[in-house]
Amino acid sequence: MRCRYLVAGAVQGVGYRMFVRRHANRLALVGFAKNLPDGRVEVVAEGPPEAQRALEEALRDGPLAARVLTVEKSEILDEIDVLKAFEII
């Protein structure tokens, strides 16, 4: 299962992507986290549903310096590229 999360709030410049990578690695998820020009962070993660639920919970909390306002989740159905690790882009 591959999901895309769009996280809005004070999530850039506060260690949010590193926070996401730590949680994704702990949950054995692969994918990436990247800053978007509009101030949001995009997270794409692939792995079992229970790991996705745990990641989504962590995304809503974020690191101490972040202030998460919203997390939008969508499932990605056509998984063309192969993800092998969790990266910060």
Q: What is the pLDDT of residue 50?
A: 97
Return the CATH number at 20.
Answer: 3.30.70.100
Q: What percent of the chain has pLDDT over 70?
A: 98
Q: Mind listing the pLDDT tens digit for each residue in 52-80?
A: 999 999 999 999 999 999 999 999 887 66
Answer whether residue 82 shows pLDDT above 90.
no
DSSP class of residue 48 equals -
In a domain, residue 13? The reply is yes
Angle (deg, nearest 10), helices 49-61 and 16-26: 150
Q: What is the pLDDT of residue 84?
A: 86
Range of the domain at 44: 2-79
In a domain, residue 19? The reply is yes
Q: What is the 3-state secondary structure (H, E, C) of 57-82?
A: HHHHHCCCCCEEEEEEEEEECCCCCC
How much is the mean pLDDT over the chain?
95
Q: What is the pLDDT of residue 79?
A: 67
- Residue 61 CA: distances (Å) to CA of 4, 11, 31, 39, 78: 17, 11, 19, 17, 29
| Catalytic center residues | 17, 35
In a domain, residue 42? The reply is yes
Count how many domains the chain has. Answer: 1
